[in-house]
């Protein structure tokens, strides 16, 4: 056997080596007991305990390293033992043993008091017993070869008779060939199944091609009224403004935040919306420990050679096949962790042109069969039929959502719930696909009947200029474009342009004043309240005035 192949451990060699080490240990301890009981040398109780502990730790550590060597080895010797030693986690048993020994022998308990001279002499005796045990095992092994027994504790066959050596060589060659075939097959399978779940999705749609369903003939107003009636039939009650804001929010952004107190129906809204229009929905519970995108999308496991796929990733990938089916990806309690940490890639990508909506999962140089719907190597596509919806609670257990996140999202506030409206509208579900919904949005934004009039635009500009002059708060093209899409769709849903501006102003612009305590701020807020009453009135801009009053109370 060449040097480069000595590191290989076949399954049979692993079993033989384990039996040999186990035999040496048992014989060594039996010899130690003979020495102790005969009175040649007696070990204290503490020395025995420490010796047992060190032996057990060494056995566990040896087992871990040998198993790693076995599972990461290869027939051509590419995986050297030094590579395994670099795996820091492989030495956890040693770390644990050292800590346990330090803790136990720092406690003034009688049985754990160790005399150094007694222990070290005992340790040397144990080492001597191990040598004797090894010689005994070697003698048994030599006797087995000499007598022609089938017992063999070594892979070498130099001491066998010529015929026996030939048979032995043929048997080993056959075993190695079989092992090589199994490992080659397993390696090939691993390469083909880096993304096993996503490849399974490919295979499913290859056998069952997607056929989009026919969308119902509805308008945005009928869609909102019907959805409201459907919710009430399921004993869920929301204000008409909330329903319209949700639909209009989908028009202006593919990222929506449903924010409010716990128990106000934030999670139920997308759930029932999916039931009403017949679309897909995936719920993902955000964990407080989430720190990066791997918690959302998964990660590549170097040991297994597979990508750890998450339900979120599977749902996102499946949506790329069901092109006309709306897909809602709900991040429940999204601010339990910092959104800008684990969702940063999505926030950035959604700002780009839709042709660049993709996120790289791993280096494209990785060998193996990739899912068919991937793009640019190992990048998953964010399809146009997908909306990300995050629910956010306002309590001490959550993180504050930053302006970076708010600016990119359509924000819907759940401060209260409505009573039953009693609308005489059918509560039966409809079907609305992406093509139909996009058509409704385009018709609303392109129609002059639903957009801002010149007078409304000028009034809103006065309010925006006041915010810039008094509070140094301005908004860029992103929020402006959102307003230009939100307002006409909101009006087409049955609302008014003034109320749509009230919603956007209170949730996108006035929110930027939270946490400010500048000198003279209360005076400026009072002036803002006066201006709003002059331009719009109390009823029209009620949400903004409520937010202004909350700011005033905080300054008292």
> Does 167 reside within a domain?
no
Same domain? 480 vs 386: no
Please tell me whether residues 365 and 234 are part of one structural domain: yes
Residues 93, 121: one domain? yes
For residue 411, list its beta bridge partners. Answer: 257
243 with 362, same domain: the answer is: yes
Residue 185 lies in a domain: no
Contacts for 498 with CB less than 8 Å, ≥ 6 apart: 456, 536, 540, 541
Q: How far is Cα of residue 458 from the mean position of the Cα atoms in its chain?
A: 46
Closest among 536, 528, 537, 490 to 509, alpha carbons compared: 528
Domain assignment of residue 187, yes or no = no
Residue 205, SS3 per DSSP: helix
Q: How many whole angstroms separate alpha carbon 391 and alpha carbon 334?
A: 6
Q: Are residues 435 and 458 in the same domain?
A: no
**Rounded-to-integer distance, Cα 183 and Cα 229, Å:** 60
Looking at residue 35, what is its pLDDT?
82
**pTM of the entire structure?**
0.67
Would you state the pLDDT for residue 157? 38
C-alpha to C-alpha distance for 240 and 235, rounded to whole angstroms: 15
C-alpha neighbours within 13 Å on the C-beta side of residue 411: 25
Same domain, 463 and 440: no
Give 10-residue mean pLDDT values along the chain (556 residues).
Answer: 41 66 82 82 76 76 67 43 51 64 58 68 82 84 66 40 45 45 45 84 96 95 94 90 96 96 90 97 96 93 87 97 97 95 95 94 77 91 97 88 93 76 72 97 90 89 91 87 95 95 92 78 90 90 90 79
Does a structural domain hold residue 497?
yes
Same-domain check for residues 430 and 459: no
Predicted confidence at residue 102, as pLDDT, reads: 62
Residue 396 placed within a domain:
yes
Beta bridge partner(s), residue 358:
381
Q: Which of 155, 176, 196 is the last residue of a domain?
A: 155
CA dihedral 531, 533, 535, 537 (to 10 degrees): 170
Residues 233 and 248 in one domain: yes
pLDDT of residue 442: 96
Closest CA to 544 of 438, 467, 468, 436: 467
Same domain, 230 and 368: yes
CB contact at 8 A, 210 and 322: yes
The pLDDT, as a whole number, for residue 365 is 64
> Is 339 domain-assigned?
yes
Tell me the three-class secondary structure of 506-520, residue by residue. HHHHHHHHCCCCCCC
Domain final residue, candidates 415, 446, 477: 446
Q: Which of 413, 446, 479 is the last residue of a domain?
A: 446
Nearest to 297 by CA among 248, 243, 342: 342
Nearest to 249 by CA among 449, 383, 388: 388
Domain of residue 549, residue span:
449-556
Q: b/e per residue, 416-443, with b = 16+ CB within 10 A?
A: eebeebeeebeeebbbbbbebbeebbee
Question: Comparing C-alpha atoms, which of 471, 476, 531, 537 is closest to residue 508?
Answer: 476
Q: In this structure, what CATH number is given to the domain that contains residue 302? A: 3.40.50.300
- Report angle CA 290, 291, 297 to the nearest 5 degrees: 70
142 and 240 co-located in one domain: no
Q: Cα 110 from chain centroid?
A: 50
> Do residues 345 and 208 share a domain?
yes
Amino acid 448: pLDDT:
79
Confidence at residue 182, expressed as pLDDT on a 0 to 100 scale: 45
Backbone φ/ψ region at 249: left (φ over 0), alpha (ψ -120 to 50), beta: alpha
Q: Does residue 544 belong to any structural domain of this protein?
A: yes
Which structure tokens are listed for 204? 């499913």
In this structure, is residue 166 part of a structural domain? Answer: no
Q: What is the pLDDT of residue 187?
A: 46
Same-domain check for residues 477 and 550? yes
The dihedral through the CA atoms of 499, 500, 501, 503 has a sign that is positive
The answer to whether the beta carbons of residues 88 and 33 sit under 8 Å apart is no
Do 506 and 547 meet the contact criterion of CB atoms below 8 Å apart? yes
Question: Structurally, how many domains does the chain consist of?
Answer: 3
């Amino acid at each position: 056997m060449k040097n480069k192949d000595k590191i290989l451990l076949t399954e049979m060699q692993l079993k033989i080596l384990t039996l040999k080490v186990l035999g040496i240990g048992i014989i060594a301890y039996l010899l130690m007991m003979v020495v102790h009981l005969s009175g040649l040398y007696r070990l204290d109780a503490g020395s025995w305990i420490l010796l047992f502990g060190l032996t057990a730790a060494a056995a566990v550590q040896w087992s871990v390293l040998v198993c790693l060597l076995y599972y990461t080895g290869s027939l051509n010797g590419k995986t050297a033992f030094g590579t395994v030693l670099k795996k820091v986690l492989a030495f956890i048993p040693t770390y644990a043993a050292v800590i346990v020994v330090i803790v136990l022998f720092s406690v003034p308990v009688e049985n754990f008091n160790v005399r150094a001279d007694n222990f070290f002499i005992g340790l040397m005796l144990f080492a001597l017993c191990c040598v004797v045990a090894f010689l005994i095992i070697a003698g048994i092994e030599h006797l087995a070869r000499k007598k022609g027994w089938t017992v063999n504790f070594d892979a070498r066959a130099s001491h066998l008779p010529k015929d026996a050596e030939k048979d032995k060589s043929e048997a080993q060659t056959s075993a190695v060939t079989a092992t090589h075939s199994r490992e080659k097959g397993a390696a090939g399978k691993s390469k083909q199944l880096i993304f096993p779940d996503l490849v399974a999705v490919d295979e499913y749609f290859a056998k069952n091609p997607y056929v989009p369903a026919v969308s119902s003939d509805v308008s945005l107003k009928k869609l909102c009224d019907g959805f409201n009636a459907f919710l009430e039939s399921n004993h869920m009650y929301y204000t008409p403004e909330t329903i319209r804001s949700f639909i209009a929010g989908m028009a202006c952004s593919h990222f929506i935040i449903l924010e409010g107190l716990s128990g106000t129906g934030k999670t139920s809204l997308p759930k029932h919306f999916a039931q009403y229009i017949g679309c897909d929905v995936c719920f993902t519970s955000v964990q407080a420990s989430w720190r990066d995108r791997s918690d959302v999308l998964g990660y590549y496991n170097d040991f297994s050679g597979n990508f750890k796929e998450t339900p979120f990733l599977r749902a996102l990938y499946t949506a790329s096949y069901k092109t006309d089916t709306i897909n809602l990806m709900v991040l429940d309690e999204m601010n339990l962790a910092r959104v800008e940490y684990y969702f940063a890639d999505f926030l950035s990508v959604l700002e780009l042109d839709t042709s660049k909506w993709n996120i790289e999962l791993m280096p494209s140089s990785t060998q193996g069969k990739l899912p068919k719907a991937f793009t640019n190597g190992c990048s998953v596509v964010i399809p146009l039929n997908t909306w990300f919806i995050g629910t956010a609670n306002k309590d001490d257990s959550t993180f504050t959502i930053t302006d970076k996140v708010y600016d990119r999202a359509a924000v819907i506030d759940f401060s209260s719930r409505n009573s039953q409206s009693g609308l005489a509208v059918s509560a039966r579900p409809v079907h609305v696909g992406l093509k139909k919904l996009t058509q409704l949005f385009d018709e609303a934004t392109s129609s002059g009947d639903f957009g801002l009039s010149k007078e409304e635009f000028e009034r809103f500009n006065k309010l925006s200029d006041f915010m810039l002059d008094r509070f140094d708060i301005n908004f860029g093209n992103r929020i402006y474009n959102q307003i230009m899409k939100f307002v006409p769709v909101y009006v087409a849903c049955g609302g008014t342009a003034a109320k749509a501006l009230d919603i956007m102003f209170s949730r996108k612009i006035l929110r930027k004043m939270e946490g400010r305590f500048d000198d003279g701020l209360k005076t400026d807020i009072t002036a803002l309240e006066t201006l709003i009453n002059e331009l719009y009135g109390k009823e029209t801009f009620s949400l903004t005035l409520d937010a202004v009053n909350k700011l005033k109370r905080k300054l008292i």
